[in-house]
Amino acid sequence: TQPYRIAVIPGDGIGKEVVPEGVRILEAAAEKFGFRLDLEHHTFGSCDYYAEHGTMLPANWKEILTPTDAIFFGAVGWPATVPDHVSLWGSLLQFRREFDQYVNLRPVRLMPGVPCPLAGREPGDIDFYVVRENTEGEYSSVGGTMYPGTEREIVIQETVMSRHGVDRILKFAFDLAQSRPKKHLTSATKSNGIAITMPYWDQRVEAMGERYPDVRRDKYHIDILTAHFVLNPDRFDVVVGSNLFGDILSDLGPACTGTIGIAPSANINPEGRFPSLFEPVHGSAPDIAGQGIANPVGQIWTAAMMLEHLGEVDAANAIVAAIETALREPASRTRDLKGTATTREAADAVLRAFAAA
């Protein structure tokens, strides 16, 4: 069989530290499960590249990445040298849009043995997906500044919700909910205050819901929804939200399971017309970069999500099982989980569990 063609883009900060650990598990999985990988390593999509070239990406980035089967991405951003909106709109947000990766799928799971910051919660109590709209909504380029530099200065950025864009993310979320035992979908809204786009969102949820009579659905305004994440995380199964709401919920959810350092994500173009992109939820963490202490589990779990997407389901499940085994051991945990392991040691523990299974 043909090798999977994977673009590897570490990006900045701890992205450069955790991506090699993700690559190690990918290579171990290929060996163990009998598939081949053709890894193409790229330095673009980083602030170092920007310093040298004045852009985040080469002009022909689409030609380079389009033929790949998937993009394995670390994190982008080094605000000390490049403003975040420049580095992010010049890379990750471009990929999401230009490759129409309209689903951002972010699992939230309390792993066995990991101390939960929420009192009395056990594995099984927190096990849901955040499904985030990934190409429109609040992340729009519609708007601008009027009367700049004057006292009348006005800055506007419009939220964009297209029927096509809203319906397709809702369909993905309902399909996912329908495939799960609980068959429950929660919609994040704010139709009390944001009185044009959010009532529209609610209306499309109702319309889509009629096509899924077996899926129980509810909705919460985003403010109280964040409270329920903390107080009643067992209430959730599939949570669907707009681009910004999904962004916020997908940091809060993992934080409720101990750390954002273990959380993976898949930026998916479900039709497969373009490559999908796999990255941890976290960023480049400048505050700990260069110390070798970043949690590699988010990147490693991301590798599992990518393999699942490529059809290597057994390999993906084996990686997640190895993560669970490793995390049970306090000595295998990094500092964000109150452990003492370095990035390398934490990854070694997962690799050992993977090899032993």
Point out which residues bind Mn ion (CB under 5 A). 247
The token duo for 277 is 């992109």
Report in angstroms the alpha-carbon separations of 239 from 25, 37, 41, 77, 160: 29, 33, 34, 27, 20
**Chain center to CA of 57:** 21
Q: Which residue is nearest to ligand NAD (CB)?
A: 77
Interacting residue with ligand NAD among 65, 76, 170, 188 (CB under 6 A): 76
Asked if 336 touches ligand NAD (CB under 6 A), the answer is: yes
Give the residue with the Cβ less far from ligand NAD, 75 or 319. Answer: 75
Of 98-106, 231-239, 280-288, 303-311, the window that binds ligand NAD (rule: CB under 6 A) is: 280-288
CB 115 within 8 A of CB 258: yes
Q: How far apart are CA 150 and CA 74, in angstroms?
A: 40
Residue 138 CB, shortest distance to ligand NAD, in Å, is 16
Binding-site size, ligand IPM (CB under 6 A) = 5
253 interacts with ligand NAD by CB under 6 A:
no
Instruction: Determine the Cα–Cα distance for residues 254 and 138; give it in Å rounded to an integer.
Output: 22
Alpha carbon separation from 346 to 32, 158, 262, 278, 306 (Å, rounded): 20, 43, 11, 20, 20
Query: What residue has token string 């985003």?
Result: 222
Q: Does 133 bind ligand IPM (CB under 6 A)?
A: no
**Residue closer to ligand NAD (CB basis): 35 or 61:** 61
CB atoms within 10 A of CB 219: 17
Q: Specify burial of residue 171 (Cβ count, 10 A radius: 0-12, 13-18, 19+).
A: middle
Tell whether residue 135 is a contact of ligand NAD (CB under 6 A): no
Asked if 247 touches ligand IPM (CB under 6 A), the answer is yes
Distance CA 330, CA 19 (A): 23
**Minimal distance in Å, beta carbon 147 to Mn ion?**
32
Select the span of 35-43, 59-67, 70-78, 124-132 touching ligand NAD (CB under 6 A).
Answer: 70-78
Task: Give Dmax over CA atoms of the chain in angstroms.
Answer: 66
The contact pattern for ligand NAD, residues 284-323, with x = CB under 6 A and - = no contact, is xxxxx-----xx--x-------------------------
CB of 159 or CB of 334, closer to ligand NAD: 334
Q: By CB under 6 A, name the binding residues for ligand IPM.
A: 88, 93, 247, 281, 283
Q: Which residues bind ligand NAD (CB under 6 A)?
A: 14, 75-77, 79, 84, 88, 92, 260-261, 279, 282-288, 294-295, 298, 334, 336
